[in-house]
Amino acid sequence: MNTVALVGNPNVGKSSLFNTITGARQYVANWPGVTVSRKEGIRRWRGREIKLVDLPGIYSLGAISIDEKITRDYLLREAPDVVVVIVDALNMEQGLYLLIEVLEMRENVMLVVNAIDEAKKRGMKINRYELEKHFGVHVVFTSAVTGEGIDELLDRALHIITTKDVHSFVELTYQKEIEEKVRKIEERIQNAKRLRSYKPRWLALKALEGDPEVLELLEEFEIPVPTGEENKKYKEMIAQRRYQYIDSVLREATTSFDQKLSVSEAFDHVVTHRFLGIPIFLAMMYLAFTFTFDVMSPLSDLIDTGISSLGEWLRGVMGNGWVTSLVVDGVVSGVGAVLVFVPNIFGMFLALGFMEEVGYLPRAAFVIDKLMYKLKLSGRSFMSLILGFGCNVPAVMSTRGIADPRERLITILVAPFITCSARLPIYILLAGIFFKGQEAAVIFTIYISSIVLTAISATLLNKILFKGQPIPLVMELPRYRLPSAKNLWLYVWERGKHFLEKAGTIILISSIAIWFLGSYPAPADKSFAADLGKFFEPLFRPLGYDWRMVTALIFGTAAKEVVVSTFQMMYGDPSSVLPHLITPPVALSFMFFVMAYIPCFATIAVIKTETGGWKWALFSVMYSLFIAYTVSLLISVVGGAIL
Amino acid sequence: MKLSEAVVGTKVKIVSVDFPPELQGRILGLGFVPGSIVEVVREAPFGDPRVYTVHGKMITLRNSEADLIEVEPVSKNFPLSMAEVGKHYIVKAFLGGPFFMSKMRSLGINVGSKIMVASKFPISITINGKPVRIGMGMAEKIIVEEI
């Protein structure tokens, strides 16, 4: 099988092209850094199987952030048959810079100019033959939206695979001083056998730039290389020359076009306004929550009614007996308790997806960066954290795009405080019982508190672990994009599906387990579950929790939705039982406990993988338990005193 | 001049870029290379970070990062705050809102007015032979061209 690798800047439509070619469903976000690791797909073309590899979006082939390293190592070691460099038709410069870098590393490269439909719409003309001539590669114009040029892309790739014809090879000549140094290092490299798998010119240029990996490699062979200040100077000169070349080529190859997008400009002017920016951000968030609850709740009620009737019907058909109880009280009410919230969760993803799709989220990151800066984080980690509102697992995984290891670790450790969609059902349940009519406001408060808690934790951890050094922010603001219904649906489905899968697996299993633990030995308040809850209850007495709530918390570590399932099973009808057992402040305290305590198993596992050991995973567990207990205790005590 | 000091709405040319090695590659890759033209697009609440356009891309940088990029002005138009004492200028544009505009009118400063910078810190200008004191904040919103 032949391999074709896709390389490009973030946000040039790489993943869209990948999807169009392979027919895969990979969600494409309108912000940099979606592909956190490489994705692979297979396309059959003219009787051959071609494996496509979608690599993370990068700006240069340094070896600093994990994204860059993944791409660079892949290009160096896996030797794909064709490397496709994708650039954005409306903004080719940075993409062509990457093309030059890739060309210095490998020869089997071709160039794809994507979003050609948008360029045409704006009357921009690109001369393909000029590009081919000056970069010495095959050039194809594509549009992932209209599908234009995809066949040609595949044909050209196949052409390179079968004939090894990469067009004409053009080598960019640098300044005299650089070229002389390159020649000297190249000569020395020729003698070192083990270095022959690399292009000598690439090694020499990287050595001049002061690339740590290459310097180490060359030192092994005792090849003299420049260091420190010299590296800095050469690196600047090399980059300058590349951009000079790109500018001169583009002057010949493209017609200028109306750069300023009036709509986009006007939009930016408002949403990132000095004074309005932050209020607009909060308003957008609040709107998203109102949409999640108010608009979606009739659907939830419908499902709720459906599930209750299903239970009644099953009871009628199956009669009384332990099997019926297992099916109705265990499976139907346990899984059903979670399914009721499916519309809310899909609603929230729809709202979040819309903001992301349009391109608002990077602007939001920009607007609140000053606050993040105070926390010694950056807008970039904000983008990872906001993914956590869906699920903490992708949030933790997306930190791979963060270049700074300190910022990355802190982001991973605080991410679980961002309240994920699995915790939403418990808020909705309790807010509906204790704060009727004010659900959206109460839940919004919890969300804001979760952000504040994340912020405080970040500052605290930074102070303790890293003595509080600030972290840089270099972020691209992408063009605004009209959300495509297909992409939006993919976004909602990709995330919502996960929730449904959980309902069918871990929540189903937990429901059955909880039913057994809660039913045997009979009666319910002498069962194993009761023993467990009662054993730990004294610990939670200061908080005012009932033993059944404690049991729910324990089971909830498997997946936080299980808290709701447990409630359903242990209380039968929580809305009529709970008000007699606890006060509104205790209910609020419990919501906060659920928000902050132990990340679920899946998140703990991913923290372990991403930080490379149990140390930080355990730290996260202990730390979050401590925070949850402290905050909830405060709410129970203060709330109790006020009432 | 540092990039962080360039006024919103103006264009500057990069002289040198001095980031720590771990960021230098990305910054250069994004197009912040000596000789490139950067436009200061806008600033976030509290004036930090700011958005710049470089080689057709909008990039956000914090002021602490923009401090590491040395630039020089390119456009003939620049804010009055950067004008030199003793030289003559013509007013080209105002960056402020309606209140600012009426304030300018009341001072007798209009687009096309010819002014001379009499002193700096605080800035005082002569317009039609009449001296006027201008605050630093206002001086940043008055765009002038040397004559």
Averaged confidence pLDDT in chain A: 83
Q: Which is nearest to A82 in space by CA: A165, A143, A192, A142?
A: A165
Q: Is B97 on the interface with A (CB under 8 A)?
A: no
Residues of A in contact with B46 (CB under 8 A): 274, 370
CB of A40 closer than 8 Å to CB of A51: yes
Residues of B in contact with A101 (CB under 8 A): 29
Q: How far apart are CA A218 and CA A184, in angstroms?
A: 13
Q: Choose between A421 and B115: higher pLDDT.
A: B115
Q: B107: distance to nearest CA of chain A, Å?
A: 27
- Residues 389 to 448 of A: which have CB under 8 A from any B CB? 403-404
Q: Which residue has the tokens 């071609």?
A: A50
Check A272 against B31: CB less than 8 A apart: no
**Alpha helix (H) residue ranges in A28-105:** 66-73, 93-105
First-last CA distance in chain A:
71
As for how many domains chain B has, the answer is 2
Check B58 against A473: CB less than 8 A apart: no
Q: Is B133 on the interface with A (CB under 8 A)?
A: no
Check A235 against B25: CB less than 8 A apart: yes
Look at residue A138 and tell me whether its pLDDT is greater than 90: yes
Q: Is A71 on the interface with B (CB under 8 A)?
A: no
Domain boundary among B13, B47, B73: B73
Query: CA geometry: angle at A281 spanning A372 and A414, to 5°?
Result: 35
The reported pLDDT for the residue numbered A77 is 84
Written as six digits, the tokens of A167 are 């067009």
- Residues 483 to 502 of A: which have CB under 8 A from any B CB? none
Q: Do B58 and B89 lie in a common domain?
A: no
Q: Is B8 on the interface with A (CB under 8 A)?
A: no
State the count of interchain CB pairs (< 8 A) between A and B: 129
Q: Which residue has the tokens 């001083």?
A: A177
Q: Is A261 on the interface with B (CB under 8 A)?
A: no
Q: Is A122 on the interface with B (CB under 8 A)?
A: no
Instruction: Report the sign of the C-alpha dihedral through residues B4, B9, B14, B19, in that order.
Output: positive
**Which residue in A93, A242, A370 is closest to B45 by CB distance?**
A370
CB of A377 closer than 8 Å to CB of A410: yes
Q: A461: distance to nearest CA of chain B, Å?
A: 22
Q: Which chain A residue lies closest to B33 (C-alpha atoms)?
A: A240
Residues of B in contact with A476 (CB under 8 A): 30, 57-60
Residues of A in contact with B31 (CB under 8 A): 93-94, 97, 243
Q: Which is nearest to A166 in space by CA: A135, A137, A129, A139?
A: A137
Q: What is the mean pLDDT of residues A96-112?
A: 92
Residues of B in contact with A91 (CB under 8 A): 55-57
Alpha carbon of B140 to those of B80, B89, B121: distances in Å? Answer: 6, 14, 13
Residues of A in contact with B17 (CB under 8 A): 236
Query: CA geometry: angle at A282 spanning A271 and A10, to 5°?
Result: 55
Residues forming beta bridges with residue B88, ordered by sequence position: B116
Look at residue A578 and tell me whether its pLDDT is greater than 90: no
Structure confidence by residue, pLDDT tens digits, A19-44:
888 876 555 444 444 445 667 788 88
Q: Which is nearest to A55 in space by CA: A33, A43, A38, A42?
A: A38
Check A474 against B58: CB less than 8 A apart: no
Return the minimum-mean-pLDDT range out of A89-93, A450-454, B80-84: B80-84
The reported pLDDT for the residue numbered A4 is 92
Q: Which is nearest to B38 in space by CA: B52, B24, B59, B19?
A: B52
Q: A56: distance to nearest CA of chain B, Å?
A: 15
Q: Is B15 on the interface with A (CB under 8 A)?
A: no
Q: Do B15 and B59 lie in a common domain?
A: yes
Q: Which residue has the tokens 């309790």?
A: A430
Q: How far apart are CA A551 and CA A566, in angstroms?
A: 8
The reported pLDDT for the residue numbered A231 is 84
Neighbours of A410 (CB within 10 A): 26
Check A477 against B58: CB less than 8 A apart: yes
Written as six digits, the tokens of A215 are 């310097």
Q: Do B23 and B83 lie in a common domain?
A: no
Check B56 against A240: CB less than 8 A apart: no
Most confident segment among A56-65, A493-502, A515-524, A613-622 = A613-622
**Which residue in B23, B35, B44 is closest to A370 by CB distance?**
B44
**SS3 (DSSP) at A556:** coil
Q: Which residue has the tokens 């986009």?
A: A264
Q: How far apart are CA A35 and CA A207, in angstroms?
A: 29
Check B42 against A272: CB less than 8 A apart: yes
- State the fold for domain A179-239: Helix Hairpins (1.10.287)
A532 falls in which pLDDT band (50, 70, 90)? Answer: confident
Look at residue A619 and tell me whether its pLDDT is greater than 50: yes
A260 falls in which pLDDT band (50, 70, 90)? Answer: low
Question: Which residues are CB-contacts of A275 (< 8 A; sequence separation ≥ 6)?
Answer: B45
Q: Do B101 and B124 lie in a common domain?
A: yes
Please give the full DSSP string across B21-62, using - where no structure is assigned: HHHHHHHHHTT--TT-EEEEEEE-GGG-SEEEEETTEEEEE-
CA A550 to chain CA mean position, Å: 32
Q: How far apart are CA A400 and CA A70, in angstroms?
A: 10
Check B59 against A232: CB less than 8 A apart: no
CATH number at residue B88: 2.30.30.90
- State the fold for domain A2-163: Rossmann fold (3.40.50)
Structure confidence by residue, pLDDT tens digits, B73-103:
886 777 888 888 888 898 888 877 778 888 8
Q: Which residue type does A489 have?
A: W
The reported pLDDT for the residue numbered A259 is 55
Check B60 against A274: CB less than 8 A apart: no
Q: Which residue has the tokens 């610990």?
A: A539
Q: Is B39 on the interface with A (CB under 8 A)?
A: no
Check B31 against A210: CB less than 8 A apart: no
CA A60 to chain CA mean position, Å: 21
Neighbours of B13 (CB within 10 A): 14
Residues of B in contact with A64 (CB under 8 A): 22-23, 25-26
A594 falls in which pLDDT band (50, 70, 90)? Answer: very high
**Which residue in A239, A244, A470 is closest to B28 by CB distance?**
A239
Q: Which is nearest to A146 in space by CA: A177, A170, A174, A114?
A: A114
Check A474 against B22: CB less than 8 A apart: no
Q: Is B26 exposed, middle or buried (0-12, 13-18, 19+ CB in 10 A)?
A: buried
CB of A52 closer than 8 Å to CB of A18: yes
Q: Is A275 on the interface with B (CB under 8 A)?
A: yes
**Which residue in B35, B42, B48 is closest to A370 by CB distance?**
B48
Q: Which is nearest to A560 in space by CA: A519, A510, A516?
A: A510
- Residues 47 to 86 of B: which have CB under 8 A from any A CB? 47-49, 51, 55-62, 64-65
Q: How far apart are CA A517 and CA A540, in angstroms?
A: 21
Check A209 against B25: CB less than 8 A apart: yes
The reported pLDDT for the residue numbered A622 is 92
Over its C-alpha atoms, chain B yields an Rg (Å, rounded) of 17
Q: Is A463 exposed, middle or buried (0-12, 13-18, 19+ CB in 10 A)?
A: exposed
Percentage of the residues of chain A whose pLDDT score is greater than 70: 92
Q: Is B137 on the interface with A (CB under 8 A)?
A: no
**SS3 (DSSP) at A254:** strand
CB of B24 closer than 8 Å to CB of A232: yes
Residues of A in contact with B95 (CB under 8 A): none
Q: Which chain B residue lies closest to A250 (C-alpha atoms)?
A: B55
Residues of A in contact with B59 (CB under 8 A): 474-477
**Which residue in B22, B56, B62 is closest to A473 by CB distance?**
B62
- Domain regions of chain A by residue span: 2-163, 179-239, 278-477+486-642
Q: Do B92 and B110 lie in a common domain?
A: yes
Q: What is the mean pLDDT of residues A392-415?
A: 78
Instruction: Report the sign of the C-alpha dihedral through residues A34, A36, A40, A46, in that order.
Output: positive
Phi and psi torsions of A231, nearest 5°: -55, -45
Look at residue B69 and tell me whether its pLDDT is greater than 90: yes
Residues of B in contact with A94 (CB under 8 A): 29-31, 55, 57
Q: What is the span of the domain harbouring residue B36?
A: 3-73
Q: B57: distance to nearest CA of chain A, Å?
A: 7
Domain boundary among B19, B48, B73: B73
Q: Is A260 on the interface with B (CB under 8 A)?
A: no
CB of A76 closer than 8 Å to CB of A105: yes
Residues of A in contact with B55 (CB under 8 A): 91, 93-94, 243
Domain boundary among B73, B93, B118: B73
The reported pLDDT for the residue numbered A120 is 87
Q: Do B54 and B110 lie in a common domain?
A: no
Q: Is A359 on the interface with B (CB under 8 A)?
A: no
Structure confidence by residue, pLDDT tens digits, A270-306:
888 878 888 888 888 778 777 776 777 788 788 888 9
Q: Is B44 on the interface with A (CB under 8 A)?
A: yes
Written as six digits, the tokens of A599 are 């990340």
